[in-house]
Structure 1
Amino acid sequence: MWLEASFIEKPLRLEVAAAPKSRFILLHYSVPKALWDWLILFGTFYLAVTVPYNVSFTTADHTAIDAPLTFIADVVVELLFIADIVLNFRTTYVDKSGKVVYDPRSICIHYVITWFFVDLVAALPVDLLYAAHIPVSSFVHLLKTIRLLHFLRLFQKLERYSQYSALVLTLLMSVFTLLAHWMACIWYVIGRMEMANVKTWHNGWLFKLSEQQDMPFFNSTVGGPSMYSSYIAALYFSLRSLTSVGFGNISANTRAEKIFCICTMFVGALMYALVFGNVTIIIQRMYSRRSLYDTSMKDLKDFIRLHHLPEKLKNRMLEYFQSTWSVNSGIDVNELLHDFPDELRADIAMHRNRDILQLPVFAGASRGCQRSLSLHIKSSFCIPREYLIRQGDVLHAHYYVCSGSLEVLNDTTVLATSSQVKRREPVWG
């Protein structure tokens, strides 16, 4: 007898009153906004590489306009940050109560009191001053480093991608590489400062490097290794210091260089623990499913050995375990959905068992009845040549063949075959 549930044919649903939305408002969780955030992230990475290098290695008489490709890229990034300011004035946000705010006026006020002035300073078109041949000091050029504050905003948004281990691993290694790049730029600046000191210029690491490469300095400012060679040497030294791997071919000689090395070692120890500690966790997460499989297999073998199961029964258990694991990867659906509300679990069950509920035997059931039945339908997997029901067993359920085939045997004689070729057939006791 079917339980009629016509009174729930039209499910009750609590709906939040639709807030008036402008067609020009961009949702902060939408796909276009996510793609735009990634574009801003790449632009920020570009600035994180080029700005410290230009400040450290570019001489006073050399401007960005002398490198057309670099100049064009810098201008494009500046335009991206200006466009980002405009979009932030039209992008929704979540207030302290957890409500998504769509009101344009509230969005503008929230952005102005949070990140607007930082973004405004970060988007100053410094490179356009080069195009106008206006002399710009290094201090003004350093204002571009404020754009690196975009990392703080973007890393908060990247939390939604924390479940992607490969992506998090790539970002962590990128941050470590950026830190080494910044340390290399600072190391070169210290070397240039020591070269400007008449008392210590012959003891600095740049002077030692010039002797190794047979490219001597004619005085404290003329001659010496090229910018490219100096940067490679500085990057090699910073990576060596951050990873605590030293060979001594480039070392600190002056007081300022030794102080910087001490600071680099402290920073390297912190970053090594932070970055590579997270790398270890990510790698463990990537192989967590395999570790669970090995643990379950070990427990199963210990159980077999403890109870001295016969070889035939042992092989059946191992084959069933390996076959079911290949199907569901060890995921217990009932445990996974245990904490979900009944309404959501019913929708999920209706989707998972939609093929069974389309059978003619369920045609007369109302939707409410089907939703109730779907919560009690369970999937069962049998390995080949395994018995599902034996004669004399007490039946507690009806079985339907959803995949594969099933034979009805009388001793060794096949009486009937039920398969999933044309239709799903019930197996009755």
Structure 2
Amino acid sequence: FRRYWNVYIGFLLIYTSLFVPLRIAFYDEQSTEMLVFESLIDLCFFIDIILNFFSAFEKKNNVVETRHRQIAISYFKGWFWIDFISTVPFQLVEELIKSESSTREIKLAKVTRLPRLYRIVRILRLIKLARLSKRGGFLAQVQELLQLTSSTSNMVGLLLTVLFLTHLVACIFFLQSKLMDFPDDSWVIQEDVMDKEVFFQYTIAFYWALQTLTTVGFGDITIVSVEERIFAIMWMIIGIAFYSYAIGNMTNFIDNMDADREQLNQKLAVLKEFRSRTQMPINMYSKIKRHLENNQKSANSFQ
């Protein structure tokens, strides 16, 4: 049960990590249906907190801890507070503040901005996703379901990490201007995207984040304000390091694929030459060839 529950929680974490930054940055209002849906997600994470108090874990000496008291103490001293903070239903707090402040419109804009900022702490759920993947519950199940080799899984994971970081930075890039009430020197005003559709605004922000990460930097999106330039500098530093790491891993992955393919081709060439010299039956030749190919696939899956 726990393995399947981890997979379920993992997908909820992915949904949260993708949708929450987008909604915080680009959307101000939410429907009743979405409020109920997010509350149900919070309820699932609350159930997960309860389950963690009764889930055995492996200690550093490779001994599985099954005593409920020790499990609870270990969880309370470690991951409990991160899980708890990221599970607080800030959308309900926001609705409560709005209802109580309906007659004070002047203070409403400033007051409702606070829970919107607090909802950013839900990004802490990414740490929970990393913990699930480290324990091998979530990512191992997905890898087995999609029948991916370890090398391919690492490659796909790297690509998804690049896309997620770009998505997160794009949301923060727009949110930064939004929190400053879109001053005249913000990129949103400079690029005249203030009154555009959300999809257009997100596309421009994602485009800037991706071109900065890949060190392309066309310069067609102008940054004027000091705050945005500081944010851009930090993203450039992170982007250069991560982009270099990503390129190195991709190169290593392609080199390994070429080396494995070359090794298999050499074995098949030797087999073919041996068959021509010994007049090996075609059935035996086919079986040996399939064995070599399957053995190479099995070896790649453990790399």
TM-score, L = length of structure 1: 0.55
- 1:374 maps to what in 2? none
The one-letter amino acid of 1:115's match is W
- 2:39 maps to what in 1? 75
Aligned sequence identity (%): 23
- 1:43 maps to what in 2? 12
- 2:3 maps to what in 1? 34
CA-CA distance at 1:83 after TM superposition: 0.8
* Deviation string, structure 1 residues 202-245 (Cα, Å, up to 9, x no partner): x43222321xx7xxxxxxxxx64343322221111111211223
- 1:389 maps to what in 2? none
* Structure 1 residue 207 corresponds to structure 2 residue 189: yes
Structure of greater Rg: 1
Q: Which runs of 5+ in 2 are unaligned?
A: 101-110, 144-148
Distance across 1 between alignment mates of 2:11 and 2:135: 14
The counterpart of 2:263, out of the listed 252, 271, 292, is 292
DSSP 3-state at the match of 1:329: helix
- 1:270 maps to what in 2? 241
The counterpart of 2:22, out of the listed 45, 53, 59, is 53
DSSP 3-state at the match of 2:158: helix
- 2:215 maps to what in 1? 244
CA-CA distance at 1:284 after TM superposition: 5.4
CA-CA distance at 1:315 after TM superposition: 7.0
The one-letter amino acid of 1:155's match is S
The counterpart of 1:124, out of the listed 45, 67, 88, is 88
- 2:121 maps to what in 1? 143
Decide whether aligned partners of structure 1 residues 283 and 37 sit closer, same or farther in structure 2, where only a CA change above 3 A counts.
farther
CA-CA distance at 1:263 after TM superposition: 2.4
Distance across 1 between alignment mates of 2:270 and 2:241: 39
Q: What pairs up with 1:174-253 in 2 under 5 angstroms?
A: 174-192=160-178, 196-197=182-183, 201=184, 203-210=185-192, 224-253=195-224
Q: Per chain length, whose mean CA-contact separation is higher, i.e. which structure has more relative contact order (CA < 8 Å, sep 6+)? A: 2
CA-CA distance at 1:156 after TM superposition: 0.8
- 2:146 maps to what in 1? none
* Deviation string, structure 1 residues 166-186 (Cα, Å, up to 9, x no partner): 444433322221111111122
Contact 1:324/1:330 (8 A) holds in 2: no
Decide whether aligned partners of structure 1 residues 260 and 131 sit closer, same or farther in structure 2, where only a CA change above 3 A counts.
closer
Distance across 2 between alignment mates of 1:322 and 1:289: 20
CA-CA distance at 1:90 after TM superposition: 1.4
Distance across 2 between alignment mates of 1:239 and 1:253: 19
Instruction: Tell me which moved more, 237-246 or 319-328.
Output: 319-328
Distance across 1 between alignment mates of 2:227 and 2:94: 33
Greater share of residues in helix: 2
- 1:379 maps to what in 2? none
The one-letter amino acid of 1:113's match is K
Decide whether aligned partners of structure 1 residues 126 and 173 sit closer, same or farther in structure 2, where only a CA change above 3 A counts.
same
TM-score, L = length of structure 2: 0.74
Decide whether aligned partners of structure 1 residues 258 and 130 sit closer, same or farther in structure 2, where only a CA change above 3 A counts.
closer
Contact 1:185/1:231 (8 A) holds in 2: yes
- 1:89 maps to what in 2? 53
Q: How many residues align?
A: 275
* Deviation string, structure 1 residues 339-372 (Cα, Å, up to 9, x no partner): xxxxxxxxxxxxxxxxxxxxxxxxxxxxxxxxxx
Q: CA RMSD in A?
A: 3.5
Distance across 1 between alignment mates of 2:211 and 2:32: 33
Distance across 2 between alignment mates of 1:288 and 1:176: 26
Decide whether aligned partners of structure 1 residues 146 and 315 sit closer, same or farther in structure 2, where only a CA change above 3 A counts.
same
